[in-house]
Amino acid sequence: MVLGLFDSGLGGLTVLRAIARRLPAQPVIYFADTARLPYGSCTPVEICRYVREILHWFEGQGVRRVLMACNTSSALALPVVASEYVLEVGGLIAPAARAAARWGRCIGVIATAATVQSRAYTRAIQALTPRAQVWEVACPEFVPLVESGRLMGEEVRSMARRYLAPLVEQRIDTLVYGCTHYPYLDSVIGDLLPASVHRIDPAVAAVAELAAALPPSRRLESRAACHFFVSGDPVRFAHAAYPWLNYYPQVQAVALPPLPAAQTNERAF
């Protein structure tokens, strides 16, 4: 069964990387909605519309299981749209919350503004561990940095130091990367945090749960192919993805089909 992955851009490649390590036999279709990047500044209504369009497209590709490789979509759209589809749709919030609840009691979350405003991580973690303290910090400048390939240097360190300061002040014991772009900045973030702080990548948590649900034989087969699609410039995405994939992927541009009439007037909440 082909797995559909989608994100607004490069961030979902951290999920694809986790799949390649844990589930090399899993065939994947990866969609990057680069024409509408970034999602973090979009409204819930916009996010739900984008996700419906992408899921509708995945259905047309014969995909039957989709993993939202995007925390913003997982936070804002998954609870709303998952029941509208025959597709099996999963996200990143719940697996990451379970991992955070196992590790910490003073938990920091860095995420996009839209994810932070949803308070999805706080609700998910405290549903598992009511006494856990959770602090969420929006880091809106991180995604543009990653998409432009700026991962090191004093500008990045200064920005990360500013975002992390309130979490360091609270003496967190666990940090959740609440956006799939943020693990690309792990070396900088790790240097700015106490060594005792455990850092959680939702991609790793989600793929670990996916692997546990598959028969062992599926996990041991030879490496499967991944097909890449974008809503924006395929050449630009291929060049931007090269450092993370170690090859230039063949990328196809697609125009998402219009939604069925029954879904065009759906509200977000």
**Measured between alpha carbons, how far is 56 from 87 in angstroms, rounded to an integer?**
10
CA separation for the pair 228, 218 (Å, rounded): 22
Q: Tell me the CB-side half-sphere exposure of residue 221, using CA atoms within 13 A.
A: 11
Q: What SS3 state is found at 264?
A: coil
Cα separation, 90 vs 54, whole angstroms: 14
Q: How far apart are CA 48 and CA 218, in angstroms?
A: 32
Choosing from 42, 70, 139, 226, the catalytic residue is 70
Active-site residue flag, 179:
yes
Query: Which of 90, 68, 54 is CA-nearest to residue 7?
Result: 68
Nearest to 141 by CA among 122, 119, 163: 163
Catalytic residue among 42, 48, 179, 226: 179
The question of whether 70 is a catalytic residue gets the answer yes
Which ranges constitute the DSSP H helices of the chain? 13-22, 44-60, 71-76, 78-81, 93-103, 113-118, 120-128, 142-147, 154-169, 186-192, 202-213, 216-220, 234-245
> Which residues are catalytically annotated?
70, 179
